[in-house]
Amino acid sequence: MPSRSVQPWVVHARRRRAARLRALAASIAFVLAGCGPNGPSAPPSPTPAPTAPAAASASAAPTPIVDPSTVYATIESQVKAIRGLKPKTPVAPQLLDDAGIKKYIADSFARDNPPDVLDANERTLKALGLLPPDASLSDLYVRLLGSQVAGLYSPTDKKLYVVSRSGGLGPAQRTTFAHEFTHALQDQNFDLGSLKLDEIGHGDQSLARLSLVEGDAVLSQSIWQVQNLTQADLGQLLAESASDPGTKILLEAPPILRDSLLFPYTSGLSFVQGLQAGGGWDAVNAVFGKPPASTEQILHPDKYAGGDVPIGVTLPEDLATRLGTGWKVTAQDTNGEFQLALWLRTNRAIDAATANAAAAGWGGDRMALVDGPSGSWAVILRTVWDTDADAAQFESAASALVDGLASPASLLRGAGGPERWVVIGSDDATLGRVAGVLGLAG
């Protein structure tokens, strides 16, 4: 999968770029983000996609692998036939062992995410209650990705890596190559860099476009599995999955990291499956020319088809000046429906269905971390909903969550109607000051 960088509330492996604050967490960015063009890919699912064609005979035993280049060339030919895209330049895959992939992730993370960015992301996530107070965002992210990455394709240097902890090319490695080779085809035909998968301040849009990229690769990989893996291969995949120690690490990861990592593969697959079922691969190709604008469009494909774009929500350009001497806007981003729903699901007083429904009326949002003198800080989230009723539904779902945050916080109506604000402060005085400057107090 392609890669990315850290953001306020989600961790994702991204391209070589500083992370930004994501309104309520995005691919690890102002939490970390997910898989942009240079980043690692989550492990491909061994389960074929529902729309994949009928499987070929699986009675034969796996053919012993003698020449890796022959294996790669065969898979390339099969993926080209499935995806209908022609390669323009050759791609030479490289195998990485367990130590190699962990070092790659740790080095990339340290290079792409300066300490001040990590600090801003970590503080924002903790303020929102998405990370435990004693957690290290860097440690959690590197550990999670180190246990999950099966391969990666880098649009920047056009390199493709497959992880093989045994050094061989078993069904997992062949599946991974099919997935990553799809990314190479995407890049050569559509230019993944043009999708701006890591654009500063547009975390929700980046995650949505990454979902197109990953959903396409997962569908192609799944069809390839059905057509080319034997029953013995599938049995080996399932056995390896059942005994994989990375499963425990994934399940133990904070939801903001785990769910944001998986979203492009799961929801992205559903989005692309719908496109492909309705118009074939030509319909999928067309979306690369007009990529999704929000995770709302990924979650509700009818909104993509209908051209329902996010409402442009802003915070005052002179916010730091209004707050006074020593204040600065450290970072800002947009959360989107997916990340707001994820945040609402941390409210144990409501069930997941209620949280998801409360986020479904999302129209747009903007979130910022601001820092002031003497260690004071605040997180500001402005949301605008499709209707007044949607805003009220969000308020109902978020009220108990906001009241239960560790730092002083308020959910405020602002101008009312479809607008709602969440303000979190380092202390009561800071909360009051920020709310007053924004015209929300009283």
Q: Is the pLDDT of residue 353 over 50?
A: yes
Q: Is residue 25 part of a domain?
A: yes
Residues 329 and 281 in one domain: no
Q: What is the pLDDT of residues 295-325, one digit of tens each?
A: 999 999 999 999 999 999 999 999 999 999 9
Q: Is residue 310 part of a domain?
A: no
Total domain count, the chain? 2
- Residue 160 is classified by DSSP as E
Residues 77 and 166 in one domain: yes
Q: Is the pLDDT of residue 54 over 70?
A: no
Residues 48 and 90 in one domain: yes
Residues 284 and 345 in one domain: no
| 68-80 per-residue burial string, b: 16 or more CB within 10 A, e: under 16 | beebbeebbebbe
Provide the residue range defining the domain that includes 140.
6-289
pLDDT at 66: 56
pLDDT at 362: 98
pLDDT at 25: 25
Q: How distant, in Å, are the alpha carbons of 134, 142, 359 from that of 271?
A: 37, 28, 18
| pLDDT classification of 377: cutoffs 50, 70, 90 | very high
* Residue position matching structure tokens 């602002």: 414
Residues 206 and 263 in one domain: yes
pTM of the entire predicted model: 0.87
Residue of 275 and 107 predicted with greater confidence: 275
Angle among Cα 58, 270, 351 to the nearest 5 degrees reads 115
- Residue 202 tokens read as 């547009």
pLDDT at 7: 37
pLDDT at 114: 85
Q: Is residue 314 part of a domain?
A: no
Distance CA 151, CA 309 (A): 33
Q: Are 127 and 15 in contact (CB under 8 A)?
A: no
Q: Is residue 271 part of a domain?
A: yes
Q: Is the pLDDT of residue 39 over 80?
A: no
Residue of 417 and 108 predicted with greater confidence: 417
Residues 200 and 62 in one domain: yes
Q: How distant, in Å, are the alpha carbons of 205, 383, 417 from that of 391?
A: 22, 8, 7
Residues 214 and 336 in one domain: no
Residues 377 and 279 in one domain: no
| pLDDT classification of 285: cutoffs 50, 70, 90 | very high
Residues 273 and 333 in one domain: no
Residues 280 and 133 in one domain: yes
Which of 14-28, 30-44, 212-226, 353-367 has the least mean pLDDT? 14-28
For residue 153, the cross-strand partners are: 160
Q: What is the pLDDT of residues 165-213, one digit of tens each?
A: 888 999 999 999 999 999 999 999 999 999 988 887 899 999 999 999 9
Q: Is residue 294 part of a domain?
A: no
Q: Is the pLDDT of residue 279 over 80?
A: yes
Residues 163 and 42 in one domain: yes
Which of 33-37, 144-148, 345-349 has the least mean pLDDT? 33-37
Residues 371 and 282 in one domain: no
Q: Is the pLDDT of residue 52 over 50?
A: no
| pLDDT classification of 361: cutoffs 50, 70, 90 | very high
| pLDDT classification of 53: cutoffs 50, 70, 90 | very low
Q: Is residue 311 part of a domain?
A: no
Q: What is the pLDDT of residues 56-101, one digit of tens each?
A: 333 444 545 458 999 999 999 999 999 999 999 999 999 999 999 9
Q: Is residue 295 part of a domain?
A: no
pLDDT at 241: 86
Q: Is residue 307 part of a domain?
A: no
Residues ≥6 apart with Cβ < 8 Å to 341: 355, 356, 358, 359, 360
Q: What is the mean pLDDT of residues 233-244?
A: 91
Q: Are 183 and 40 in contact (CB under 8 A)?
A: no
